[in-house]
């Protein structure tokens, strides 16, 4: 197969890692090319063509560049990620992925088939042309992973309103021990000020984002997700793969993955109660999430999830050839 992936983004986070890993795994057996902004070229292992997909979606230059790229590569499958690229592209076999939850999904309905990060992602999409594709773990990134003595509780993610890291800081107590926030984004300075205001500077630390998630998880008591909205968070699966338990708010597909007792309602009070219950009982938390560890280690691997995508491609290619 000749597969073309397209995305538009200004940061390298969950969606971008999803595209990078999927395209790389597919490139082992198929001809794959990714189109995206110049700043991310060095992060991709599959063949990558630079087009400024971040420019205005109605830009004539963007349309011309995409048209020429499609004509040159002549793909069997075009797979767009996110709303912008999905709304622009027209192709005979057009697949798209909704990575979070969207109020307006009309652009996605125009593609032949839609993958969604969670059931919530696909609520407005006809079932016959969609499927939930849970996120995965690229196990090659954890070849040398080894758990060490836990030193901190861990937040990994963008410092953006939708991730609501302020909720976590406000709910934290110095009695809980160290909390490490790893990421970048527009809220970074606000978070630093909030930590100082609450007198938690000796308890909560902020570090820049890193691609070595394994080293962070190796020293973590637990991963904490405080988001208002999610799709199918990659870091959730990576944490469970490493047998590091997770506490989270009820967003995206989290309640479909974790036991109910590990998930708070999506509000500050419920989240605070969740931390108060489980942070002192993290060993017990690991025990009740053992089935989650095993499930992710068996099912949510990059190779397995990629095969599901490829099988859907093949199904549509077979129909098109009749």
Q: Above 70 in pLDDT, residue 322?
A: no
The full length of the chain comes to: 322
**139-299 has which fold?**
Rossmann fold (3.40.50)
Assigned CATH class of 2-136+301-321: alpha beta
Which residue carries 């995409």 as its tokens? Answer: 66
With bands split at pLDDT 50, 70 and 90, how would you rate the model's confidence at 258?
very high
CB contact at 8 A, 35 and 118: no
Interval 27-69: pLDDT, tens: 999 999 999 999 999 999 999 999 999 999 999 999 999 999 9
End-to-end CA distance of the chain: 17
Residue pair 181/155 in contact by the 8 Å Cβ criterion = yes
Q: Say yes or no: do domains 2-136+301-321 and 139-299 share a fold.
A: yes
Q: What is the pLDDT of residues 277-314, one digit of tens each?
A: 999 999 999 999 999 999 999 999 999 999 999 999 99
Query: What single DSSP character describes residue 225?
Result: E
Tokens of 216: 């962070």
The CA–CA distances, whole Å, from 184 to 37, 96, 146, 189 equal 19, 27, 26, 10
pLDDT of residue 3: 98
Q: For residue range 138-168, what is the model confidence (pLDDT) as tens digits?
A: 999 898 899 999 999 999 999 999 999 999 9
| Domain boundaries defined on the chain | 2-136+301-321, 139-299
Confidence of residue 220 (pLDDT cuts 50, 70, 90): very high
Tokens coding 291: 């089935």
CA-nearest of 12, 14, 19 to 306 is 19
Provide the percentage of residues in the chain whose pLDDT is more than 70: 100
**pLDDT at residue 153 in the model:** 98
Q: Tell whether pTM > 0.85.
A: yes
């Amino acid at each position: 197969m000749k597969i073309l992936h397209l995305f538009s983004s200004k940061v390298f986070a969950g969606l971008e890692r999803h595209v990078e890993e999927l395209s790389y795994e597919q490139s082992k057996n198929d001809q794959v090319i990714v189109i995206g902004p110049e700043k991310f070229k060095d992060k991709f292992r599959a063949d990558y063509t630079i087009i400024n997909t971040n420019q205005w979606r109605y830009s004539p230059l963007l349309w011309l560049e995409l048209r020429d790229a499609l004509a040159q590569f002549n793909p069997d499958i075009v797979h767009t990620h996110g709303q912008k690229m999905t709304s622009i592209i027209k192709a005979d076999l057009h697949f798209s992925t909704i990575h979070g939850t969207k109020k307006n999904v009309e652009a996605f309905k125009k593609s032949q088939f839609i993958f969604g990060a969670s059931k919530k992602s696909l609520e407005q999409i006809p079932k016959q042309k969609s499927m939930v594709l849970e996120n995965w773990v690229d196990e090659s990134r954890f070849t040398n992973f080894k758990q060490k003595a836990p030193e901190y509780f861990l937040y990994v993610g963008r410092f953006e309103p939708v991730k609501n890291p302020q909720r976590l800081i406000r709910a934290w107590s110095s009695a809980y021990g160290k909390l490490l926030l790893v990421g970048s984004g527009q809220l970074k300075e606000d978070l630093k000020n909030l930590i100082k205001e609450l007198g938690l500077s000796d308890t909560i630390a902020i570090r820049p984002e890193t691609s070595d998630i394994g080293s962070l998880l190796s020293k973590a008591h637990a991963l904490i997700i405080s988001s208002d909205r999610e799709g199918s968070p990659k870091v959730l699966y990576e944490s469970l793969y490493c047998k590091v338990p997770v506490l989270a708010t009820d967003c995206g597909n989290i309640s479909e993955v974790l036991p109910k007792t590990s998930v708070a309602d999506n509000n500050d009070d419920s989240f605070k109660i969740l931390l108060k219950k489980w942070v002192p009982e993290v060993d017990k938390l690991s025990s009740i999430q053992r089935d989650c560890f095993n499930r992710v280690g068996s099912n949510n691997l990059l190779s397995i999830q990629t095969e599901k995508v490829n099988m859907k491609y093949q199904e549509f290619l077979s129909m098109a050839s009749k």
